[in-house]
């Protein structure tokens, strides 16, 4: 290693952002090179000087900011430049600007619009707005302005109904299964959470397998993984667990997946585990895999 | 919850935060307020350190959390809330830093009989019974550091603040700023090089 490349690595070393191999190289060089070692000392001195400059937010400022924010949200008078009406217009502007992409039900838009007014407005106007919005999901299809400055908005309304019943009810279970495929991740999390205790049913198991393998949201995948724990001996479930172990970018999911996979000896997993141990960054997962391979008398490396 | 918990990996998987978000998405204002309290001190600290002005930090706070309030319905849990929030905060701060660059403003530096001094250092000194020599030295160092930091591009400055003062990993910083870990790494490297260049004889 040359001094030039060592100097380039010093800031990243200082912030703990080097790979272990590069760290080893640099430490060996610093041990031998006086001038680079002095450069490291200067980096530490710079850090100390910068640390002295750090400011903390004064508690009174924090309290003031919180009060201003909540006043602005609730329509108070403390933030005249961001009064509730301006905010409402801005919120509408933001909503309209995103119409091309937006397929959110108006329940979401209501959070933007009515949220500012809900706590304050009373009387017939508020009631009208509430009645117009609450019982329906509304999608805005088009907006145009007329010559007189009025706005014409075409909306599709879908009425909402509430269904209740136990999870043993096949109708309810079908709705919860449909919920596990909804766009809204909050609905998917709740649905998969309800389904996870019923993995004995083939349809539920398929939904959990699908959620673990494909859901974009880690909280949903985590719930699905919990639901599949009881089926960790099943070949198809083990395939999905192995896939999660290799591909899932969430450390906690990989840690749980490896625990389930190595809990029982399975020689068909040797190849997957050997491959994984070469690439895995997570220390816990790597240790688990190495131990499982040793327990199976398999080599930790590949040939 | 500890102030810095918002920036840690643990907080990103915090089910309590997730349920606050969901409740706030349903219109629960108490939940929104609690959600703000989890993150607001670290947001304000970031803005204070970047902009060195309580007034500007206050504006960033207000603007950032109002944007969160207006757009929370669109948060789809496809990244951590911390990352999502910090994208908003860093965008606002970067805008402020860029405006200052255009106006050639150094909001935090004021002229004194000892030369240019960081206004926030004067603010701190009011509360400290330090000896005069040390005060002078600290002022000089403070203003040199300010000048070193003002020589960074807004993006270098942001990467440096997030890594040095907020303790975020470069990978997370890349996510927040919509760039790669490698680009964030290069920014951090350039920032420290420039600062060492300006402060070389003092540190």
Higher pLDDT, A42 or A1: A42
Q: How many CA atoms are closer than 13 Å to the CA of B63, on its beta-carbon side? A: 18
- Domains annotated for chain A, with CATH where assigned, are 3-53 (no CATH), 59-159 (no CATH), 170-295 (1.25.10.10)
Give CA B166 to chain center in angstroms: 7
8 A C-beta contact, residue B153 and residue B160: no
Q: What is the pLDDT of residues A57-80, one digit of tens each?
A: 888 889 889 999 998 888 744 444
Q: How distant, in Å, are the alpha carbons of B18, B21, B22 from that of B15?
A: 5, 10, 10
**In B, which residues are within 8 Å of A57 by CB distance?**
41, 44-45, 48, 57
Query: Cβ atoms within 10 A of the Cβ of A133, count?
Result: 17
Q: What is the pLDDT of residues A135-161, one digit of tens each?
A: 445 667 777 877 777 888 877 776 667
The whole-number pLDDT of residue A83 equals: 39
**In A, which residues are within 8 Å of B65 by CB distance?**
69
- Those residues whose C-beta lies under 8 Å from the C-beta of residue A67, and which sit 6 or more positions away, are A78
Beta-carbon separation of B48 and A55 below 8 A: yes
The whole-number pLDDT of residue B23 equals: 95
The whole-number pLDDT of residue A185 equals: 78
- Those residues whose C-beta lies under 8 Å from the C-beta of residue A144, and which sit 6 or more positions away, are A151, A152
Q: What is the pLDDT of residues A216-226, one digit of tens each?
A: 888 889 999 99
Architecture of domain B1-106: Orthogonal Bundle (1.10)
Beta-carbon separation of B73 and A15 below 8 A: no
Beta-carbon separation of B29 and A115 below 8 A: yes
In order along its 203 residues, chain B shows pLDDT tens digits of: 333 333 443 344 577 899 999 999 999 999 999 999 999 999 999 999 999 888 899 999 999 999 999 999 999 898 999 999 999 999 999 999 988 876 655 545 555 555 555 555 544 444 444 566 666 766 777 788 888 888 999 999 999 999 999 999 999 999 999 999 999 999 999 999 898 888 876 65
ipTM of this complex prediction, to 2 decimal places? 0.81
Question: Does the pLDDT value for residue A110 go beyond 70?
Answer: no
- Those residues whose C-beta lies under 8 Å from the C-beta of residue A91, and which sit 6 or more positions away, are A112, A113, A116, B70
Rounded distance between C-alpha atoms, residue A297 and residue B185, angstroms: 41
Beta-carbon separation of A111 and B73 below 8 A: yes
Q: Where are the alpha helices (DSSP H) in chain A?
A: 3-14, 20-32, 34-53, 59-73, 84-97, 106-117, 124-133, 170-179, 185-195, 202-214, 218-228, 235-247, 251-262, 270-279, 283-295
Higher pLDDT, B159 or A56: B159
Q: How far is A5 from chain B (nearest CA, A)?
A: 12
User: Tokens 């920036």 belong to which residue?
Assistant: B7
Confidence band of A128 (pLDDT split at 50, 70, 90): very low
- Residue from A46, A109, A256 whose CB has the most chain B CBs within 10 Å, to mutate: A46
Q: What DSSP letter does each residue of B58-112 carry, written as one string?
A: HHHHHHHHHHHHHHGGG--SSS-HHHHHHHHHHHHHHHHHHHHHHHT--TTEEEE
């Amino acid at each position: 290693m040359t001094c030039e490349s060592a100097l380039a690595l010093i800031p990243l070393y200082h912030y703990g952002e080097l790979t272990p191999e590069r760290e080893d190289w640099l430490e060996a060089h610093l041990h031998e090179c006086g001038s680079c070692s002095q450069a490291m000392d200067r980096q530490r001195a710079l850090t100390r000087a910068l640390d002295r400059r750090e400011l903390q937010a004064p508690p009174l400022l924090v309290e003031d900011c919180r009060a201003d924010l909540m006043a602005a949200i609730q329509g108070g008078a403390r933030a005249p430049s961001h009064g509730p009406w301006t905010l409402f217009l801005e919120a509408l502007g933001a909503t309209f600007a995103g119409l091309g992409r937006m397929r959110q039900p108006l329940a979401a838009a209501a959070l933007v619009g009515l949220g500012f007014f809900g706590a304050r407005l009373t009387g017939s106007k508020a009631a009208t707005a509430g009645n117009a919005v609450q019982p329906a999901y509304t999608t805005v299809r088009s907006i145009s302005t007329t010559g007189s400055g009025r706005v014409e908005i075409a909306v599709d309304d879908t009425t909402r109904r509430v269904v209740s019943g136990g999870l043993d009810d096949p109708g309810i279970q079908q709705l919860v299964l449909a919920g596990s495929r909804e766009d809204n991740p909050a609905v998917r999390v709740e649905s998969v959470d309800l389904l996870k205790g019923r993995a004995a049913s083939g349809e539920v198991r398929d939904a959990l397998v699908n959620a673990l393998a494909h859901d974009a949201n880690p909280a949903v995948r985590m719930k699905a993984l919990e639901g599949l724990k009881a089926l960790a001996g099943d070949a198809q479930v083990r395939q999905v667990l192995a896939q999660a172990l290799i591909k899932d970018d969430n450390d906690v999911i990989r840690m749980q997946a490896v625990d389930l996979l190595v809990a029982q000896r399975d020689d068909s997993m040797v190849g997957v585990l050997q491959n994984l141990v070469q690439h895995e960054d997570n220390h816990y997962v790597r240790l688990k895999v190495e131990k499982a391979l040793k327990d199976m008398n398999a080599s930790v490396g590949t040939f | 919850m500890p102030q810095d918990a918002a920036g840690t990996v643990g907080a990103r998987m915090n089910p309590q935060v997730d349920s606050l978000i969901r409740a706030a998405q349903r219109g629960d204002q108490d939940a929104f307020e609690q959600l703000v309290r989890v993150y607001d001190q670290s947001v304000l600290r970031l803005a204070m350190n970047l902009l060195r002005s309580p007034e500007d930090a206050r504006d960033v706070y207000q603007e950032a959390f109002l944007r969160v309030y207006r757009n929370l319905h669109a948060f789809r849990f496809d990244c951590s809330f911390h990352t999502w929030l910090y994208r908003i905060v860093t965008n606002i701060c970067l805008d402020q830093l860029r405006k200052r660059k255009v106006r050639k403003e150094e909001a935090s530096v004021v002229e004194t009989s000892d030369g240019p001094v960081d206004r926030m250092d004067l603010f701190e000194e009011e509360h400290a019974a330090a000896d005069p020599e040390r005060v002078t030295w600290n002022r000089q160092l403070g203003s040199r550091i300010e000048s070193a930091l003002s020589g960074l591009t807004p993006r270098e400055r942001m990467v440096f603040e997030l890594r040095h003062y907020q303790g975020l990993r470069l990978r997370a910083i890349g996510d927040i700023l919509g760039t790669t870990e490698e680009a964030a790494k290069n920014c951090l490297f350039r920032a420290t090089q420039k600062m060492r260049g300006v402060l070389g004889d003092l540190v």
